[in-house]
Amino acid sequence: MGGRDTDLVLLDANGIRCDGRKVDETRKVTIKVGVLKNANGSAYIEFGNNKILVGVFGPRDVHPKHLANTDTGIIRCRYHMSPFSVTERKNPAPSRREIEIGKVIKEALQPSLILDKFPRTTVDVFIEVLQADGGSRCAALAAASVALADAGIPMRDMVCACAAGKVADTIVLDINNEEDQAGQADMPVGYMPNLGKITLFQLDGVLTSDEYKKCLETAIVGCKQVYEIQKQAIQNKFFENGAD
């Protein structure tokens, strides 16, 4: 949570946010599946102004070999922001933030995957953020789960994701970059909607226990909306390819 921009009206008298949304409204989400020919699975997501491409490779041999597990396949995940993804040029070298996000996305995907049939192999997930506008880890996580499904990796459930937060003393769904910078709390959530299990939970900011509960419930409502778009995106690929 950054310093407050005094000119920015985060929530007006009619309950409308700085980008015109209501408090319980997500940004527009579109997902396209199977966009990379050379990947085993792929997805492109636009989550508001976030634009993120995910390629999945594997199960394939692990290099370096000492990382291989003889009992199960492993998953690795790289989250990378392109230098032009934010207003100031971003250094292309991996930052601490990118390493952290790669780790939390990997850990958020892991419980959804069934990798014990693929011992000694890895499933590699490459996330390229082309444009970031707040909430990129949730957008990336949702796209990565779709790309894994596109790659045919066995899974217990899809992982959907959406953040909620506190802006102008109000709990709002899916905070954007301006709200993230000037708001009071940001809570990204990853969720397996059929199993009802949370796989990613982070909180930046301070909430009372009532706000905390409301924020989590709000984020899960957003997750379920994203899930419907994920499912539709996968179905669209099969219909486009002429399958029934």
> Under the rule (CB under 6 A), what is the footprint of ligand ADP?
86, 88, 90, 97, 132-137, 177, 180, 186, 188
> Which two tokens mark 29?
């989400």
For residues 62 and 109, which CB has a smaller minimum distance to ligand ADP in the complex? 109
- Provide the minimum distance between the beta carbon of 95 and ligand ADP in the complex, in angstroms, as a whole number: 7
- Provide the minimum distance between the beta carbon of 175 and ligand ADP in the complex, in angstroms, as a whole number: 8
Residues 57 and 35: their CA atoms lie apart, in Å, by 13
Angle at 26 between CA 24 and CA 29, to 5 degrees: 160
For residues 142 and 151, which CB has a smaller minimum distance to ligand ADP in the complex? 142
Residues 6+ positions from 73 with CB-CB distance below 8 Å: 58, 59, 115, 116, 117, 118, 119, 120, 121, 122, 123
Cis peptide before 119 (omega within 30 of 0): no
- Provide the minimum distance between the beta carbon of 185 and ligand ADP in the complex, in angstroms, as a whole number: 11
- Provide the minimum distance between the beta carbon of 12 and ligand ADP in the complex, in angstroms, as a whole number: 23
Residues 118 and 113: their CA atoms lie apart, in Å, by 11
For residues 124 and 133, which CB has a smaller minimum distance to ligand ADP in the complex? 133
For residues 157 and 186, which CB has a smaller minimum distance to ligand ADP in the complex? 186
